[in-house]
Amino acid sequence: MGRDDLYKTVEPLPARFNLCDYFLDRNLREGRGAKAALFVGDDRRTYAELSRRVKQLAAAFRRAGLRPEERVLIILPDGFEFAETWFATLRAGGVFAMVNPLMKREQYEYYLEYTKARVVVTHSEVLPELADALRSARLAPAVFVVGAEHGGFVSYEHALTAEDPDSALAALEPTGPDDLAGWLFTSGSTGHPKACVHVHSDFAYSTETYALRVAGYRESDVCLSVPKLFFGYATGTNLMFPFRVGASVVLFPGRATADELLDQIEKHRPTFLTGVPTMFNNLLRSERIAKADLSSLRVSLSAGEALPPQLYSEWKARTGVEILDGIGSAEMFHIYISNYPGDVKPASLGRIVPGYEARIVDAEGRAVADGEPGRLRVRGGSTALCYWGDKKKSRETFQGEWCTSADIFRRDAQGYYFYEGRDDDLLKVSGIFVSPLEIENALLSHEAVAEVCVIGKEDEEGLVKPLAFVVPRTGHKGGDALAAALKAHCKERLAPYKYPRWFIWRENLPKNDRGKVARKELKAEL
């Protein structure tokens, strides 16, 4: 596909373009001012109420010294204030940077120094870890604190309500499509997280392609997410995309446990569920799942880690709803390969999203044949400009319009893509590269296995063989008998050399802040 044909997928944006207007203000112009935009517990906020508070907060940011293209560091749990801060940052021409509100002081010190944020918005519950880092920051930011205790910083609510939403300070910054809008952080699997720098048009492009043409958001939808809003996957699926069509969003600040999700589903009856494989698994294993009413669900999304075919089948059998698994990245903002409604191929990531182009290449950048593994190169209208402050890594990843993934994929003859894992996760067993995901999927198809992670371990001869960390399902117990059964199960389904040689039984597997199994932590245990 030629470049011009690729980008014709989306209508050109006007010379003056701001995401706050595109996602939020348009709903007032289209007559949705009185409609509920956000639900948090028993409270709701309409589009008109949210718009007014966003204008006031944008004015407060400017009064505190925020200038266009300066960073606002958002360290908040999910709630009204997160959405207000995100939109107000864009309205004032700032650049959002979002991080987990459950980190430690040393991590906050890194983000404060790295972002050089002019404004920080946080919650009183975060202050025990954050306050000292703020006070010792080399570049002292303006700090707004949500909650009753402000720790000597500025009260978010007092600063907001003191401003006039019709003042000049509250006006929409006249940004353009190519002005800076947001930083999305990498997972930091090889060191400190780096920021992928995105402009306003990047977020609109993914919205017009993936959200509208694949996931199929509707104005009538009520959306609920397992991942939290600081994670770009959820910022898209549970804030930007629903607002583009005037849908409603459910937010909750606590952990996304199975009980919490079932409570939210019972209370708000969502139609759209953004999930990750681990949580779909936890829901299906919940004691409440047999009696839970999931009939409101219309669409389920998954990303972040591989979705086992067995898990997909169980979810569809229980709910009647497909899981649209896909792959995205901070470098591309959101999902660019996805399964489609009515066209789900279990174990695959689906097909390319309209407006994107992908290739599988070898180490020299040459295209490989279908069925052969290699690195994924992708291009489309949402590619980041660079990694902030890392020229070398930027050049390795971004080549013109193309972004080269660090992960290994393959594509079949029908155009469906399959994730093989990170290049450093692949196991070389008997001289042949083996994807741990293939072994994990085989193990998960056994009735005794709830969760699993496969890594490589050297045997007494120094040769790498698979080792499986396994969480048994309720009613099953780890031990020699189960290990023998699982080995036999794998040998029936996989090449003989792929079965796990060792098993370590666990009550749970460690997860990172995005809900993925922390494979690196498990490797460190050996």
Q: pLDDT: is 82 or 310 the higher one?
A: 82
> Sorting pLDDT into bands at 50, 70 and 90, what band is 514?
low
Specify the length of the chain in residues. 526
Q: Which segments of 286-351 does DSSP mark as H helices, in order?
A: 309-319
pLDDT the model gives residue 526: 79
Smallest Cα–Cα separation from 390: which of 139, 216, 224, 190?
Answer: 190
Smallest Cα–Cα separation from 352: which of 339, 369, 368, 367?
Answer: 339
Contact assessment for residue 24 and residue 87, using Cβ atoms and an 8 Å cutoff: yes
Question: Rounded to whole angstroms, how far apart are CA atoms 192 and 64?
Answer: 29
pLDDT the model gives residue 494: 85
Residue 466 CA: distances (Å) to CA of 80, 347, 440, 487: 46, 20, 10, 11
Q: pLDDT: is 192 or 289 the higher one?
A: 289
In this predicted structure, the answer to whether residue 3 has a pLDDT above a threshold of 70 is no
Smallest Cα–Cα separation from 278: which of 507, 511, 438?
Answer: 511
Single pTM value for the model: 0.86
Residue 309 CA: distances (Å) to CA of 105, 237, 280, 371, 383: 40, 23, 12, 19, 30
**pLDDT, tens digit (0-9, with 9 covering 90-100), for 402-438:** 999 988 899 999 999 998 877 667 776 766 667 788 8
**Bridge-based pairing state of the strands 335-338 and 351-352:** antiparallel
Question: H/E element holding 234?
Answer: helix 232-235
**pLDDT, tens digit (0-9, with 9 covering 90-100), for 12-22:** 999 999 999 99
Smallest Cα–Cα separation from 126: which of 59, 76, 194, 66?
Answer: 76
**pLDDT, tens digit (0-9, with 9 covering 90-100), for 157-189:** 999 999 999 999 999 999 999 999 999 998 755
In this predicted structure, the answer to whether residue 49 has a pLDDT above a threshold of 90 is yes
Map residue 482 onto helix, strand or coil.
helix
For 352, how many CA atoms within 13 A lie in the half-sphere containing its CB? Answer: 19
Q: How many CB atoms lie within 10 A of CB 106?
A: 9
Question: Rounded to whole angstroms, how far apart are CA atoms 151 and 64?
Answer: 18
The amino acid present at 165, given as its one-letter code, is P
Buried b (16+ CB within 10 A) or exposed e, 493-512: ebeeebbbeebbebeebeeb
Question: Rounded to whole angstroms, how far apart are CA atoms 21 and 10?
Answer: 18
Tokens of 198: 């995105």
pLDDT the model gives residue 325: 97
In this predicted structure, the answer to whether residue 473 has a pLDDT above a threshold of 80 is yes
Instruction: Domain 427-524: give its CATH architecture.
Output: 2-Layer Sandwich (3.30)
Q: What percent of the chain has pLDDT over 70?
A: 96
Question: Rounded to whole angstroms, how far apart are CA atoms 421 and 407?
Answer: 6
Question: Rounded to whole angstroms, how far apart are CA atoms 118 and 141?
Answer: 5
209-422: which CATH topology? Rossmann fold (3.40.50)
pLDDT the model gives residue 441: 87
Question: Rounded to whole angstroms, how far apart are CA atoms 344 and 352?
Answer: 13
Q: What is the mean pLDDT of the chain?
A: 93
Domain parsing of the chain, residue ranges? 18-175, 209-422, 427-524
18-175: which CATH topology? Rossmann fold (3.40.50)
| Partners of residue 470 on adjacent β-strands | 452, 505
Mean of pLDDT values over 319-323 = 98
**pLDDT, tens digit (0-9, with 9 covering 90-100), for 232-287:** 999 999 999 999 999 999 999 999 999 999 999 999 999 999 999 889 989 999 99
Tokens of 469: 């960390």
pLDDT the model gives residue 422: 73
Map residue 113 onto helix, strand or coil.
helix
Same CATH topology for 18-175 and 427-524: the answer is no
